[in-house]
Structure 1
Amino acid sequence: MFGKTAGEVLIDLLIEWGVDHIYGMPGDSINSIIEPLRKAQDKIKFIQVRHEEAGALAAAAYAKLTGKIGVCMSIAGPGAIHLLNGLYDAKLDKVPVLAITGQVESDLLGTDFFQEVNLERMFDDVAVYNQRIMSAEQLPAVVNQAIREAYTKKGVSVLTIPDDIPKFEVNKEARLTSSLFAVPEILPRESDVERARQLLEQAHRPVILAGKGAKAARASLISFAEKIAAPIVLTLPGKGVIPDEHPLCLGGLGLIGTKPAYEAMREADTLIMVGTSYPFTGFLPEEAKTIHIDTDASQIGKRNRVDVGLAGDAGQTLRLLTDRLEKKKDRSFLERQQERMNQWWERLNRQEADESIPIKPQRVIQALQKIARDDAILSVDVGNVTVWMARHFRMTDQQFIISSWLATLGCGLPGAIAGKIAFPEQQVFAICGDGGFGMTMNDFVTAVKYRLPIVVVVLNNHKIAMIKFEQEVMGNVEFGTDLTNPNFAQYAETCGGVGYRVEHPDELMPAFEKAVAQNKPCIIDVVVDADEAPMPPKITFAQAAGYAKHMLKELFEEGKVDLPR
């Protein structure tokens, strides 16, 4: 370490922490970091993105997929500002990310120099750890602490490095620390486990709501649910916790969920929340006794009333409960939900078989289902496409990532880039609407440059379709939602990839089969029906009334109905 520049030490420490690639763009205020990074390309790759936002979104997606820290880098000023959206995605979805940003030289700080921005203030809200490096000697300890904090607190660490610091040598006065973090084993109190057991013994209609925190606890969750005869409902980030067609699964909850999940929650007398801090409390049962399991005790009782809180690892806590319970003999409640779910699948099957033109989005998801392997990576963008994937894609062992809490458009493509870097031997799909893809489509050339054979599926309806539907449900006339799109298949070819334009249902499977056989990035541009509304599982009177009001407005404004005299 001693005798090396601070820039070289920074790269050495990243390698020591197991970082093998960084997303970013080079520039004047980080060139003294880029040079040692260039020299270490056999150990740590630099992935040049075309927009820093895509780099930060990719870093967040990499962390979601692997549990390892994602790293992104930018210059001072505009580059650092561009990182914010992706960093907020990491913050809200609670994954470890390190952002390294340049800054003007130390002696120029405070002089309103070119591209000088108060980065510590700007990053203060998004970061769990936010420091400006003050000297070469300070850098090693601060880098270690930044990464340790990101892992421990599951959040974003930001290091702002003035341009002169990486050029200085690290002398023997530097404080040496370790490149490691300790992982605790978290178990609930015995008294809380006993209270939960007593509640479960009295439950007649239990329902489990499982979130992202239950993903590593599939076997324990299924054993527990079998023991208490409880159906399992999934949050959106929890999709894939158990297979969608598992007999215990009722699918998702909320406006993008299933009708059986909605009805089960309405009837439940006991709710067991596992690894989720579900925000849409209107979909939770009002009178049910509630047990909440989470490793983060601050999330228990945060959004709704809880009778018993179990602060502990999902898998171990569920096993503790399962071992203490007798198998429930009355399984009528579970069987009723299973029958409803069978009817729901029949309904979705009919939608997916629709051969209408323009193509129904549900049919596109059916084609993806047929071609995606069990270990495929699915990076899903935000909008109507989220609804179609959440409802219609039957997860087995695939990985499903999305910007679940920030819900930022444009996350699909960067997530797929990160997925292919993390798992080069697996199929990787980005499933995007035309609105979301349009926000980050310039980084399709990044996939081309690094020879990442991802498949981007664009549901192209020339609309910001979810907003169109929201406006109509409010009783308003659609406004500002039309999109003027290029031919995305031709765009793929222009970038050096492969493109397929699909306008008829019988073209879907051939396009998918060719795309996954290519060794190049592909775009499948599917023209879909803009009027296919992502109807919620249960339509309220207010929604129906709002839609009827919208239809009347459209008729009157277009002169299709004579107004009363």
Structure 2
Amino acid sequence: MTTVATHVVTALADHGVQQIWGVVGDALNPFTDAIREDERVEWIGVRHEEAAAFAVSAQSQLTGTIGVCMGTVGPGSIHLLNGLYDAKKSHAPVLAICGQVPSQEIGTDFFQEVDNDALFSDVAVWSGTMTSPEQLPHLLEQAVNAAYSGRGVAVLTVPGDVGGLTTDATATRFAPPSALAAAPEEQISRAADVLNEAEKITLLVGCGARDARDQVVALADTLASPAVVTLKAKEGLEADNPYAVGQSGLIGNPAAAHAMDSCDVLVMVGTDFPYRDWYPTGKTVVQLDLRAEHVGRRTQVDHALVGDAGRTLDALLPRLHRHEDRGHLEHAVDEYASWMNRQQRLLDPHHDQTLLGKVRAVFDNPDDRIRPEAVAAAVDLAAPADAIFTSDTGMSTTWLARYVEMRGTRRLVGSYNLGSMANAMPMALGAQALDRDRTVVAFAGDGGLMMLLGDLRTAVTYRLPVVVVVFDNSSLGMVRLEQEQGGLPRFGTGLDNPDLAAVASALGLTARRVTDPATLTDDVAWAFDQDGPVLLDVVTNPDEISVPPKPTLSQGWGFAIAKSKEILESR
């Protein structure tokens, strides 16, 4: 005989779960006690449940195995929601164990009572409430199996009086993973005919093809196709890829935009890139995706292949003729190299002292602050080839996308589908807990960091040696850019930050504030030399402009109007 809670924890530990994240609370006491007694599972108690959900979302994305977090009755479970939505949007299997009021009080509007089934109805692929020990092991098996098969969140609610009840349930047996298969023969044959007849082909490659790097490179070579790589596909598909031309969208570049606009056929491989405005029009579109519900969701698709990317490309490649005309590919690659060279000029700490730099700085860096591009590039050089990177939603992601290369075995994780603020630091904690000897770097915005600031202490408490690099521009930079491109003067985006290095030091981290462009490289190197968790508070230029790949006249006009209003109203 054992308790319900012990059965659940033992089954998860047998499955390979090494950590469970959350905040202790009354209904969870049987579970945390079971974790205390099982040496295979580490309890990581965060300061806010949202951080727990973000952490396990990152762990699941990095390992492909289930992440587990817990929230107690009512408010504790509610706090999980944002991080769980990130797991849902990132297709990451996560199990949330949520407390509930005692069984006899359910439905009486008891203190802290929340209807968890209603609360999690949109975020979860499966949710259920355990009301009896006799529901083991079946209810737990359903939860975990659903999280894997649906690649999302399962919520198991356990009332406060049920977790401690005894059970003689048989051992839990989770289902094995399903087999991956290639797209059907008819789909592959039709796509081969289209690609063999096309002249200019561009690939748009997403994270669904990360495990098919060799096949994607071979496809680009065979078809003489530039490969536009989404942000989530940087990992595994960017480095040492002679066909890659960077990203599309607002964080993209002119070469990627031109490669998509000038092609005859656009081939989407493992991507559900969400921004419809960035898709070209009037093209023949071929989409290869494992999930049929993703086909045609963003742009109209002429030829669909539904199957695993690697296996489908293995079947497709022998049917393709090699394209000898390399003009489309070479033009895109050359334009991308030229754009990259222009971007490199901003990395020189003395850039703003050059003639062109002085002219530009009058408009966008009058206070001679550190340019964020230089911060990202310095981190790229200092971080090892096996580092894991996380980034907050906003401008910090822009600088990472443009200046950090996913070479070696580097990994990248962020809230790139949900687009939440405050995710970089807790995701870094989750990644670091998987391997405390591996370098983990968080590209944190100052606005995002301040939202979950208390969980910096979690890094100290659990000896998680993360490197937190803060782009401290005292503003919500992406929102500010959106306002200005729309012709609006900035409003509500300013942040009166404290000295974040001093705050981090008070929380027990090693920290340094960086204000001098000339010392930036040394300061970044210092951060990577520290043994424990470290925070680098880099005061960056708030007026840095990230020009979109295809700037429109209306954007430029709006920006000019906004700037004139700001000059009249403020500076």
Distance 1:202 1:522, change over 3 A: same
Q: 1:14 aligns with which of 6, 12, 15?
A: 12
The alpha-carbon deviation at position 381 of structure 1 amounts to 0.9
The farther-off stretch of 331-340 and 178-187 is 178-187
- Stretches (4+) displaced over 3 A: 174-177, 555-558
CA distance in 2, matches of 1:374, 1:315: 25
**Which residue, out of 135, 138, 142, partners 1:145?**
142
- 1:95 alignment partner in structure 2: 92
Letter in 1 for 2:490: E
CA distance in structure 2 between the partners assigned to 1:538 and 1:185 by the alignment: 38
Paired residue type of 2:538: V
TM-score (norm 2): 0.95
Equivalence for 2:72: 75
SS of the aligned residue for 1:166 comes to coil
Structure 1 residue 417 corresponds to structure 2 residue 429? yes
Work out whether 1:370 is the aligned partner of 2:381: yes
Contact 1:242 1:396 in 2 (8 A): no
Per the alignment, residue 199 of structure 1 pairs with: 194
Offset from partner CA, 1:1-46 (integer Å, 9 cap, x none) = xx11111111111112211110111111111211111111x11110
Equivalent residues of 2:129, 2:157 under 8 A apart: yes
Are the counterparts in 2 of residues 201 and 325 from structure 1 also a CA contact under 8 Å?
A: yes
- Give the secondary structure class of the aligned counterpart of 2:13: helix
How many angstroms apart in 1 are the aligned matches of 2:8 and 2:81? 22
* Equivalent of 1:550 in 544, 553, 562: 562
Are residues 1:239 and 2:239 paired? no
2:337 pairs, out of 342, 350, 357, with 342
Contact 1:186 1:311 in 2 (8 A): no
Tell me, in whole angstroms, the C-alpha distance in 2 between the residues paired with 1:326 and 1:332: 17
Q: Does 1:450 align with 2:447?
A: no
Partner of 1:109: 106
Are 1:359 and 2:370 matched, yes or no?
Answer: yes
Instruction: Report the equivalent of 2:406.
Output: 395
C-alpha contact 1:137 1:175 (8 A) present in aligned 2: no
Query: Any residues of structure 2 matched to 1:375-390 within 5 Å, and which?
Result: 375-390=386-401
SS at match of 2:501: helix
Q: Which amino acid aligns with 2:396?
A: V
Unaligned runs of 5+ in 2: 353-367
2:539 maps to 527
Please report how far the alpha carbon of residue 129 of structure 1 lies from its aligned counterpart in structure 2 after TM superposition. Answer: 0.5
- Provide the TM-score with structure 1 as the length reference: 0.96
Which whole-Å CA distance do the structure 1 matches of 2:554 and 2:376 have between them?
Answer: 30
Q: Who is 1:39 aligned against?
A: 37
Alignment partner, residue 481 of structure 2: 469
Q: In the alignment, is the contact (CA less than 8 A) between 1:467 and 1:481 conserved in 2?
A: yes
Correspondence 1:316 to 2:314: no
Q: How much has 1:141 moved relative to structure 2?
A: 1.0
1:51 aligns with 2:40: no
Alpha-carbon displacement from aligned partner over 1:99-128 (angstroms, at most 9, x marks no partner): 001101100111111111111100011000
2:447 to 435, 444, 460: 435
Counterparts of 2:221 and 2:195 in 1: how far apart (Å)?
13
What is residue 119 of structure 2 aligned with on the other side?
122
**AA of the residue aligned to 1:29:** A
114-123 or 416-425, which moves further after superposition?
416-425
Give the equivalent residue in structure 2 for 1:563: none
Q: How many residues align?
A: 554
- In the alignment, the residues of structure 2 paired with residue 535 and residue 122 of structure 1 have an alpha-carbon distance, to the nearest angstrom, of 40
8 A contact 1:138–1:175 mirrored in 2: no
What are the equivalent positions in structure 2 for 1:244-259 lying under 5 Å apart?
244=239, 246-259=241-254
Task: Give the 3-state SS of the residue equivalent to 2:167 in structure 1.
Answer: coil
Is 1:182 aligned with 2:177? yes
Which position in structure 2 is the counterpart of 1:284? Answer: 279
Report the 3-state secondary structure (helix = DSSP H, G, I; strand = E; otherwise coil) of the residue aligned with 2:117. Answer: helix
Q: Match of 1:4?
A: 2
Quick one: distance in 2 between partners of 1:269 and 1:175?
59
Distance of 2:406 and 2:491 partners within structure 1:
35
1:266-307 Cα shifts (integer Å, max 9, x gaps): 101111101111111221121111111111111111221111
The RMSD of aligned alpha carbons is: 1.4
Q: Does 1:155 align with 2:152?
A: yes
Q: Distance in 1 between matches of 2:177 and 2:374?
A: 47
- Secondary structure at the aligned position of 1:496 is classed as coil
Residues 244 and 250 in structure 1, CA contact (< 8 A), matched pair in contact too: no
- Any idea what the Cα deviations from partners look like across 1:235-256, whole Å, max 9, x if unmatched? 1222223225632111000111
**Aligned-partner SS, 1:80:** helix
What per-residue deviation string (whole Å, max 9, x for no partner) do you get for residues 197-228 of structure 1?
01101111100011110111111110111111
Contact 2:182–2:309 (8 Å) recurs in 1: no
Residue 131 (structure 1) shift: 0.4
Out of 64, 74, 77, the position equivalent to 2:61 is: 64
